[in-house]
Structure 1
Amino acid sequence: MTPVLFYGVPSGCSFGSIVALEWLGLPYRLCRIEMPEVVSSDAYRQINPVAETPALLTSDGRLLSESLAILNHLGAQGIAKGLGFAQGSAGFDRLNQRLAYLNTSFFSAFAPLWYAFEHGSEGEEKQALRAYGQASVTKAHADLEAMLGDSPWLLGEKRSLADAYFIGIARWTRYHEVVDRRDYPGLQRLYEKLEADPAVRFAHAIEQRQPAVSAGGFVGEAELEQVLQELRKVA
């Protein structure tokens, strides 16, 4: 079975998993999940009961959710390309450390801002949420800038799946405008380098339904009902 990544639009953190799949280069399909309509539907809950993206249908027919788990699954297939590391190695531990930070502190820093944005908060509630979010996002950027240091990539001299995950979250600043990334020159340099990457340009085009040229193993998009039918056949 050709793997399927269920990616959320608009601007889901699943963006990083698309980039990772492109870097990996193995055949895969994509399934577009509109948020909040489709992601909360009964149909999609058959893929992920907690109604979140991303989710991955693996080549052996298993369903996997949560970015950290998906990226580690992909990383295990990309050890020869330097995208992942053998479990128990120092590289594996460092990658997990970066992914865990991105998946918790960096990601969750935006949570109060997204709540205010998506729920139409006004007045004192909006002010409180934005103040809390701004403080959280500012701290997360400062901490990640310190972790990056003078290194070209989040793990050092070579790109890794941590960089793929970073770019999917870092772009959220354009929605909320609570930090200026130029105040963090290392992160700005990393962001610009990733934005120029063919896999990142491909992921942007896919999200925006523009002509997209894959440099990896993309073999096409699948509708949710089509994938569900495939799963019923092998159940």
Structure 2
Amino acid sequence: MHSTLFYGVPSGCSFGSIVALEWLGEPYRLCRIEMPEVVTSDAYRRINPIGETPTLMDADGRFISESLAILNHLGARGIGAGLGFAQGTRDFDRLNQMLAYLNTSFFGAFAPLWYALEHGAQGDEHAALTRYGAAEVRNVHAELEAMLGNRPWLLGERRTLADAYFIGIARWTRYHAVLQREDYPNLQRLYEQLEADPAVRFAHAIEQQRPAESSGGFQGHVTLDEVLASR
């Protein structure tokens, strides 16, 4: 049995895990989970009791949730390709540190903006959430801009799973127009480089239900009902 990634739409952070699976090149399937309707359903909670995406079902039928855990799982399988590193090495620590920053500070900066958008905040509440979220998003962009510097990828000369996770979150500035990405030229360069990557283009097409050409090991979609019926 192949691994199956349960990914959230629209525009879930699971986007980065799709990119990572494409880069890894091993056979995998996808299961589309609509948010918020399906992701909070009793059916999906049989897969992930927290009711969040992404979730990965590995080839043995075991479930792994949380982006950081999934990417570390994939990274262990992608050491030969340079996507991950052996635990205990300096490179592993650097990758884990970057993933942790992206998963907490970078991701979390958008939380007030998503709350305002998804919960219909109005008036003073909307203004306060927007001000706070905008300041946080600008702050983490400045921090990451300095961390990246002139390096071609987040960790240096080679792309890693940190870059895959980054692009899935960085695109959220399309929904929340609180900064000009051009004001952060290092991040803009990385963003454009990733947007041109075949795996990223594939992930966009998958989310938007357009014809998608895999350069990895994509084996097609499976429905949530099919997964549950097989267990």
Q: Same fold (TM over 0.5)?
A: yes
SS of the equivalent of 2:175 reads helix
Instruction: Give the number of aligned pairs.
Output: 231
1:84 and 1:169 map into 2 onto residues whose CA distance is 20
1:17-28 alignment runs, 5 A limit: 17-28=17-28
1:195-214 alignment runs, 5 A limit: 195-214=195-214
SS of the equivalent of 1:80 reads coil
> What is the deviation of 1:61?
1.3
1:204 and 1:191 map into 2 onto residues whose CA distance is 14
1:229 paired residue number: 229
1:147 and 1:48 map into 2 onto residues whose CA distance is 34
2:139 paired residue number: 139
CA offset digits 1:50-74 (Å, max 9, x no partner): 0000000001111000000000000
1:35 paired residue number: 35
Counterpart residue type for residue 66 of structure 1: E
1:67 paired residue number: 67
CA offset digits 1:145-202 (Å, max 9, x no partner): 0110110000001000000000000000010100111000000000000000000000
1:61 and 1:120 map into 2 onto residues whose CA distance is 38
After superposing on structure 2, the runs of 4+ consecutive aligned residues of structure 1 that deviate more than 4 Å are none
> What is the deviation of 1:228?
1.0
2:45 and 2:168 map into 1 onto residues whose CA distance is 23
Say whether residues 1:190 and 2:190 are aligned partners.
yes
SS of the equivalent of 1:69 reads helix
1:131 and 1:203 map into 2 onto residues whose CA distance is 31
Segments of 5+ residues of structure 2 without an aligned counterpart are: none
Say whether residues 1:12 and 2:12 are aligned partners.
yes
1:46-195 alignment runs, 5 A limit: 46-195=46-195
2:172 and 2:111 map into 1 onto residues whose CA distance is 11
CA offset digits 1:85-130 (Å, max 9, x no partner): 0000001000000000000000000000000000111110000000
SS of the equivalent of 2:23 reads helix
1:62 and 1:215 map into 2 onto residues whose CA distance is 26
1:197 and 1:209 map into 2 onto residues whose CA distance is 18
SS of the equivalent of 2:220 reads strand
2:113 and 2:90 map into 1 onto residues whose CA distance is 35
The alignment-based identity, stated in percent, is: 75
2:219 paired residue number: 219
Root-mean-square deviation (CA, aligned residues, Å) is 0.4
Counterpart residue type for residue 149 of structure 1: G
SS of the equivalent of 1:177 reads coil
Counterpart residue type for residue 9 of structure 1: V
> What is the deviation of 1:19?
0.1
